[in-house]
Amino acid sequence: MRKPFVAGNWKMNTDSETCVSLAKSIASGSREVAGEGVKVAVCPPFVYLQAVARVLSASSIAVGAQDLYTESKGAFTGEISALMIKDIGCSYVLCGHSERRHVIGESDELINKKVTTAINGGLLPIFCVGEMLEEREASRTSEVVSGQIKNGLASLSAEKISAVTVAYEPVWAIGTGLTATPQQAQEVHALIRELLAEMYGGQPAEEIPILYGGSVKPENAAELMAERDINGLLVGGASLKADDFVAIIKAVA
């Protein structure tokens, strides 16, 4: 049985003190369930990854980066490689988060390279997809999400796909307090599962975790997780409050 997976995306938040205290509080609060009934990861900003990885090294909580570059080393000012991320004790990396797609302007093609680079570098990518409000309102959700899945995972072998976690994060639900209803989320998760089955076969598709993200809170975690194709949660704002994040972890464990 696949364990549910809860990941916290800290985005561009915390500082050198609060990253450590937040990690410590999450580890102590979730000690009884993390790693047992539920897989847990946190994704701090690059500069705090090592400090957080040290704090969490004795816990069952994994650490992930929020992005990576597609080359392993060289003259790429400001960029961070998969090797570096792995070297400091991280196992996961977010790829294609909506803020990187829509604020920074990353393309499907670049995200595809990042997913491939992550896997080749021994990291587990959390590959994010999701439609914008105007796309949902124009009934283009399926088309947009299908395109992101097909292009983002293009040329990834069935063997490599087993390293991938998919996260569906409708852009209109991120940081807005507007959560997709469990039914709205399930509908898109089922579509993603169907596409993955077409691309990789039914069994591999069944095993790929698909997380929901977008204003997840302790109050809505359990009802989202009750849906068939929701296998975990990717949490932004609520992952910055230890009590809330621990409550979410416990709600799904």
Question: Stretches 27-35, 78-86, 108-116, 234-242: which one binds ligand 13P (CB under 6 A)?
Answer: 234-242
Identify the helix (H) or strand (E) that includes residue 78. none
**Whole-number minimum distance, CB 126 to ligand 13P, in Å?**
9
Catalytic residue check, 189: no
Q: Which of residues 95-114 bind ligand 13P (CB under 6 A)?
A: 97
125 binds ligand 13P (CB under 6 A): no
**Whole-number minimum distance, CB 216 to ligand 13P, in Å?**
5
Q: Do the Cβ atoms of 209 and 161 come closer than 8 Å?
A: no
Q: What angle do CA 72, 74, 78 make, to 5 degrees?
A: 90
Please tell me the number of Cα atoms within 13 Å of 33 on its side-chain side: 20
By beta-carbon proximity to ligand 13P, the closer residue of 149 and 200 is: 149
251 binds ligand 13P (CB under 6 A): no
Coil/strand/helix, residue 2: coil
d(CA 216, CA 231): 14
Polymer length of the chain: 253
Phi-psi region of 175 (alpha: psi -120 to 50; beta: other; left: phi over 0): left
Catalytic residue check, 102: no
Q: Which of residues 150-179 bind ligand 13P (CB under 6 A)?
A: 169, 174-175
Cα radius of gyration (the chain): 17
Among 27, 63, 216, 249, binds ligand 13P (CB under 6 A): 216
Measured from each CB, the residue nearest to ligand 13P is: 236
**Whole-number minimum distance, CB 58 to ligand 13P, in Å?**
26
Among 64, 214, 218, 232, binds ligand 13P (CB under 6 A): 214
Q: What is the DSSP string of 18-44?
A: HHHHHHHHHHHHTTTTBTTTBEEEEE-
Question: Stretches 71-79, 100-108, 133-141, 236-244: which one binds ligand 13P (CB under 6 A)?
Answer: 236-244
237 binds ligand 13P (CB under 6 A): yes
Among candidate residues 99, 135, 169, 227, the one labeled active-site is: 169
213 binds ligand 13P (CB under 6 A): yes
d(CA 246, CA 7): 11
Q: Do the Cβ atoms of 234 and 240 come closer than 8 Å?
A: no
By beta-carbon proximity to ligand 13P, the closer residue of 9 and 200 is: 9
Q: Do the Cβ atoms of 97 and 8 come closer than 8 Å?
A: no
List residues binding ligand 13P (CB under 6 A).
9, 97, 169, 174-175, 213-216, 234-238
Residues designated as active site: 97, 169
